[in-house]
Amino acid sequence: MPDVVQLRTAARRTYERGRARAALRVALVVVPLAVLCARETEAPWKCAAVGAALLFVSVLVRWRQPHGTWSVDAGLATGAIPMASALVLCRFASSWPADAALSVCVAAGFVSGGLASRAMTPSTRGLSTGWLTASLVAGLTAAMGCVGIGVGTAAGAVVGVALGAIVAVELPRGASV
Amino acid sequence: MNAPQRTTVHEAMVRLAVGDREAFDTVFAGLWPELLSFVRRAMPGDSDAEDLAQQALLKIFFRISDFDTGRDGVAWAFGIALYEVRTRRRQRQRRREVAAEAAMSAIEGGASPEDLLIEADLRRAVAEALGELTDADRAVLSPDAGAPAPLSAAAWRKRRQRAVHRLRAIWRSRDA
């Protein structure tokens, strides 16, 4: 008869390995996003740094947090809005004034944070902290695009995401962002 | 496993699949005895049944994060166990065939008493398997048999091939 205690320990270890493997798949999305950022902006090292942070957070959340996969998916999907806005700015409006670029990134970040947060509210997923991690991932995704314009713009996007997330959480359930 | 137990294990599997580690003990306690019993029934008298059940259980836990939560968790888990059982049977079958071929070639090149014993055993097993074939099949498989006049060489080959297939099926069913 096999030792059930040992088997239980081995099964638990195997479960964690399986979750880590599943969590690492997010690299298939994050790495191309970082490469896109590096190609479209003239700041490959900044893109790499933010991309590494985004990858680390995404893998960690998907691995350790219950429903982490949904949080990360929501964060990446909604964070793509400010990221895409910033990349379009970099390509077509490089001569825009810094204030205008900052405004666009903050506004897109606000929308992104609101959407990410609403996607993970307790009414839809039964979660209490999911909105926080979704917003964190959305913020880092937004920063990856906006960092090409400048670190201040990226910080603005992150602030926009945070504000949007907080506003969305405070809104009554029936309301929409 | 009765219906309420099955529902409990399924719900715990769904929670574990999305990362709720508190469901681990329920899944482990619900699945392990059932898997062990299933594998023992599938491989009666096999000393490797426990090892195989453990292997199946570890695979289930490794892949549970990919489990589609819309499906029946218990059926999914037993599907993995069944696949493991079938794989082990195929490996065994293949190993027996290779061993038999090796024994036959050893006999051809000068046999030890052990080889002779194996040869006698194999001959007896082959004779028994041949005994289960029809007379027509045995006649086709006879080394001296040639194609009778009305049959073409291709039709004769086909007939022999079918007889070999039937013999192989009997041989495998004896091993299983």
pLDDT value of residue A126? 47
A11 chain-B contacts, CB cut-off 8 A: 24, 28, 57-58, 61
Q: Are the Cβ atoms of B19 and A68 closer than 8 angstroms?
A: yes
A63 chain-B contacts, CB cut-off 8 A: 19
The encoded tokens of residue B129 equal: 């398997």
pLDDT value of residue B64? 92
The arithmetic mean of pLDDT across residues B139-167, rounded, is 81
pLDDT value of residue A121? 58
Amino acid at B37: S
Q: Are the Cβ atoms of B62 and A68 closer than 8 angstroms?
A: no
A10 chain-B contacts, CB cut-off 8 A: 54, 58
Q: What is the CA radius of gyration of chain A?
A: 18
pLDDT value of residue A58? 94
Contact in structure between A36 and A48 (CB atoms under 8 Å) = no
Chain A residues within 8 angstroms (CB to CB) of chain B: 1-2, 4, 7-8, 10-12, 14-15, 17-19, 21-22, 63-70
pLDDT value of residue B13? 92
CA pair distance B102, B119, nearest whole angstrom: 11
Q: Of B23, B28, B19, which is closest to residue B67 (Cα–Cα)?
A: B19
Residue in chain B closest to A64 (alpha carbons) equals B19
DSSP state of B148: -
Higher pLDDT residue, A58 or B127? A58
Residues B17-66: tens digit of each pLDDT: 988 899 999 999 999 999 999 888 888 877 788 889 999 999 999 999 98
Q: Are the Cβ atoms of A10 and B58 closer than 8 angstroms?
A: yes
The encoded tokens of residue B101 equal: 């071929």
Q: Are the Cβ atoms of B62 and A15 closer than 8 angstroms?
A: yes
Contact in structure between B31 and B80 (CB atoms under 8 Å) = no
Residue in chain A closest to B37 (alpha carbons) equals A1
Q: Of A61, A66, A85, A103, which is closest to residue A144 (Cα–Cα)?
A: A85
CA angle A119, A124, A129 (to 5 degrees): 70
CA pair distance A101, A89, nearest whole angstrom: 7
Residues B59-110: tens digit of each pLDDT: 999 999 988 888 888 899 999 999 988 888 888 888 777 777 776 676 666 6
Query: What DSSP string runs through A75-92?
Result: HHHHHHHHHHHHHHHHHH
Q: Are the Cβ atoms of B19 and A64 closer than 8 angstroms?
A: yes
Supply φ then ψ for residue A118, to 5 degrees: -65, -35
Answering whether pTM is above 0.90, one says no
> Considering CB atoms only, which of A2, A17, A68 is closest to B62?
A17
Band the pLDDT of B147: cuts 50, 70, 90. Answer: low
Per-residue pLDDT of chain A (177 residues; tens, 9 = 90+): 558 889 999 999 999 999 999 999 999 999 999 998 888 877 788 889 889 999 999 999 999 888 888 889 888 888 888 888 777 777 766 666 667 777 777 777 777 777 777 776 554 454 567 777 888 888 888 888 777 777 777 777 777 777 777 777 677 655 554
pLDDT value of residue A12? 94
Supply φ then ψ for residue A75, to 5 degrees: -65, -45
Q: Are the Cβ atoms of B19 and A11 closer than 8 angstroms?
A: no
Q: How far is CA A119 from the centre of its chain?
A: 13
Contact in structure between A105 and A167 (CB atoms under 8 Å) = no
Q: How many CB atoms lie within 10 A of CB B64?
A: 25
Q: Is B62 within 8 Å of chain A by CB?
A: yes
> Considering CB atoms only, which of B15, B50, B61 is closest to A15?
B61
